Structure 1
Amino acid sequence: MTKAIRVHETGGPEVLRLEDYDPGRPGPGEVLIEHKAIGLNFIDVYYRTGLYKAETPFVPGGEGAGVVIETGEGVTGFSPGDRVAYCVTGGAYAERRTIAADRLVRLPETVSDEQAAAIMLKGMTAWYLLRRTYQVKAGETILYHAAAGGVGLLLGQWAKHLGATVIGTAGSKEKVELARAHGFDHVIDYTKDDFAAAVKELTGGRKCDVVYDSVGNDTFPASLDCLRPLGMFVSFGQSSGPIPPFSINLLAQKGSLFATRPSLFTYIAARKELETAARDLFDVVGSGAVKVAINQRYPLADVGRAQADLEGRRTTGTTVLIP
């Protein structure tokens, strides 16, 4: 019998239960895949705790890579044996799953199963941040918080590949060094230094064109002080808690700033954009311009410990679960 992690009630890591699970046969437009690797992301924690809502019981997890086992009626783009990967909103913490074929992308030989599972959500997040939300150009300066995290280590390299000056923040000497080894020109240890003051000094007072912030409460509103006039503040997560309500007049006071709260799934809702995101991502990874740091591997059954380590900031780079 196939196994999966199911959540019957929201709470701590202990609610993640390994159970027998029947993924079912693929219906029209669907594919049955066998996972080779599954990605771990902070959004999985948000669903487990109830911060993001899902109807219980549910199988968490949003990204994975594996092999097509069976195709349903009307599926023409995939065949049994094809290597595929995906990024959706749930259902990945399982040995096998059914999924809509139009959410799958084919894997090139230059990208391994573990790499794909580790980068579909994080890598396509880096894609939309750098290429859609704000199109970073050569010569521009960006600030990225949590530089040693999964998205950060990918985005730092990609932004450097685009010709940007890349500034990051991290919370320890080890994480500072890790970020520097992955594209960041400057990394500020926020436990020791005022990052807004450091950014001003590093840029000679010009500050940044864009700030990417997945931390939330702990880095706001100081992130706004890192932006040049007409700069853009991009809030795409809240690992330290949500940003408190603020007056929109603050953006005018700080220099007529732009602010946005984007989500990956809006950017890849159209099949064409999903294919573009995956192609661009696989190109930079396959070429070696962006290297994937898979720094932790856990058995799927041990996902509770994996999520606890993620929440406790004891992980770096990307983490995969092995069924």
Structure 2
Amino acid sequence: MNKVIELSGPGAVKNLSLVVRDPGMPRHGEIRLRQTFAGVNFIDIYQRKGIYPLPMPAILGVEGVGVVEEIGDGVSHLAVGDRVGYAGVVGGYAEARILPAWRAIKLPADISDSHAAGSLLRAFTAHMLLFRVHAVSLGTKILIHAGAGGLASIVVPWAKLLGARVIATASSDEKAQIAFGYGADTVIIGRDADIAKAVLDWTDGEGVDFTIDGIGEPTFRASLEATKKFGTFASIGQAGGALTSLTATDLSPLRSLAFHAPSVMAYLSDPVRYNAVTPVMIHALKASTEIPREILYPLSDAGAAQTALENGRTTGIPLLVI
């Protein structure tokens, strides 16, 4: 039997069910992966809600780790028994799945299954942000929201290695200490904090060069005010609500900033880019000194894992143990 979590239609977690589905045999250029862990991300929640539509029924999950158990024709760089991870393609909430072979990343021995399963997508996202959306270098000032979150655990130390200065936000003192542990230079604490003022004070009234906002509407206005002219604003999610107040006026020449809504799924859809970025991303993961706490859920509790992440009850990385 091959158990999967199937989404019957867009909506609440009640639409997720544990069912049995045959993954089939790999075709040309594919492998079948017997998974050990699958990551749980906000992308999964957006897909479940229909914000990012998928054909139904669907199997969510866009990153995971496992062992190759079958290889299709035309695959020469992998062997049965190889331990690999992947990111950027749906179907991860499953005991076994078919995967394009070019997505399979051979994992070094010093990166565990669980670490890889919870970090690959975030590491690719960090690369997209720090190298493609805004070229971060010595002296770049960055504001990142959810400074204790999984993405920040990779973005912050990587940005620091590039010579950036980082100001983060956190909802509590406990989460602030986690953000400091990742390398943040300073942390704005509290959901009601005056973020824009704190950032402007920190930058002597100038604003940051690069804002990374995955919260959405609750922090949007403050993020705009905190970003300097000719800076970059990256809207990478809407954990707190969609950007319902965004208008063309917000992006007028008076602000003179670059606004991005980058998709890591689109970033990873190009095999050439995927394979070129992979070694850099793996190096960044190995260089991380602070690994977030892993919060483990059985596959059957995928709905609970999503709920905890969606409601901000996680201080760490939620993973499905398969």
| Cα contact 2:38–2:64 (8 A) shared by 1 | yes
How far does the alpha carbon of each residue in 1:228-281 deviate from its partner, in whole angstroms, 9 at most, with x for none? 211111111111121125443433455311111111122222223212322112
Q: How far off is 1:173 after superposition? A: 1.7
> Which residue of structure 2 lines up, in the alignment, with residue 293 of structure 1?
292
> Which residue of structure 2 lines up, in the alignment, with residue 86 of structure 1?
86
CA change 1:290–1:243 in 2 (3 A) is farther
Q: Does 1:178 find its partner at 2:178?
A: yes
Q: How far off is 1:47 after superposition? A: 1.4
| Cα contact 1:161–1:289 (8 A) shared by 2 | no
Q: Which amino acid aligns with 1:18?
A: L
| Cα contact 1:295–1:315 (8 A) shared by 2 | no
Q: Which amino acid aligns with 1:118?
A: G
Q: How far off is 1:290 after superposition? A: 4.8
How far does the alpha carbon of each residue in 1:61-110 deviate from its partner, in whole angstroms, 9 at most, with x for none? 10001110010011112110111111123100000001111122211222
> Which residue of structure 1 lines up, in the alignment, with residue 213 of structure 2?
213
| Cα contact 2:181–2:290 (8 A) shared by 1 | no
Q: Does 1:10 find its partner at 2:5?
A: no
| Cα contact 2:123–2:285 (8 A) shared by 1 | no
My pick for the range that moved more, 269-278 or 151-160, is: 269-278
- Any idea what SS the aligned residue of 1:201 has? helix
| Cα contact 1:148–1:178 (8 A) shared by 2 | yes
Q: Does 1:314 find its partner at 2:313?
A: yes
| Cα contact 1:118–1:294 (8 A) shared by 2 | no
Q: Which amino acid aligns with 2:317?
A: T
2: CA distance, partners of 1:102 / 1:178: 35
User: 1:184-263 maps to which residues of 2 (within 5 A)?
Assistant: 184-244=184-244, 246-252=246-252, 254-263=254-263
Q: Which amino acid aligns with 2:207?
A: K
Q: How far off is 1:161 after superposition? A: 1.7
Q: Which amino acid aligns with 2:299?
A: L
Q: Which runs of 5+ in 2 are unaligned?
A: none
> Which residue of structure 2 lines up, in the alignment, with residue 126 of structure 1?
126
- Any idea what SS the aligned residue of 1:148 has? coil
Identity over aligned residues, as a percent? 38
> Which residue of structure 1 lines up, in the alignment, with residue 105 of structure 2?
105
| Cα contact 2:154–2:285 (8 A) shared by 1 | no
1: CA distance, partners of 2:196 / 2:37: 39
My pick for the range that moved more, 196-205 or 184-193, is: 184-193
Q: Which runs of 5+ in 1 are unaligned?
A: none
My pick for the range that moved more, 77-86 or 5-14, is: 5-14
- Any idea what SS the aligned residue of 1:256 has? coil
- Any idea what SS the aligned residue of 2:151 has? helix
Q: How far off is 1:22 after superposition? A: 0.7
Q: How far off is 1:146 after superposition? A: 1.2
1: CA distance, partners of 2:269 / 2:47: 20
- Any idea what SS the aligned residue of 1:225 has? helix
- Any idea what SS the aligned residue of 1:220 has? helix
- Any idea what SS the aligned residue of 1:139 has? coil
2: CA distance, partners of 1:285 / 1:150: 12
User: 1:127-166 maps to which residues of 2 (within 5 A)?
Assistant: 127-166=127-166
| Cα contact 1:268–1:277 (8 A) shared by 2 | no
Q: Which amino acid aligns with 1:6?
A: E
> Which residue of structure 1 lines up, in the alignment, with residue 169 of structure 2?
169
> Which residue of structure 1 lines up, in the alignment, with residue 304 of structure 2?
305
- Any idea what SS the aligned residue of 1:61 has? coil
- Any idea what SS the aligned residue of 2:211 has? strand
Provide the alpha-carbon RMSD of the alignment. Answer: 1.5
CA change 1:246–1:20 in 2 (3 A) is closer
How far does the alpha carbon of each residue in 1:112-158 deviate from its partner, in whole angstroms, 9 at most, with x for none? 11111011111111111011111110111100011111111221111
Q: Give TM-score scaled by structure 2 length.
A: 0.96
Count, aligned residues: 322
2: CA distance, partners of 1:159 / 1:317: 20
> Which residue of structure 1 lines up, in the alignment, with residue 72 of structure 2?
72
> Which residue of structure 1 lines up, in the alignment, with residue 114 of structure 2?
114
My pick for the range that moved more, 39-48 or 9-18, is: 9-18
| Cα contact 1:158–1:290 (8 A) shared by 2 | no
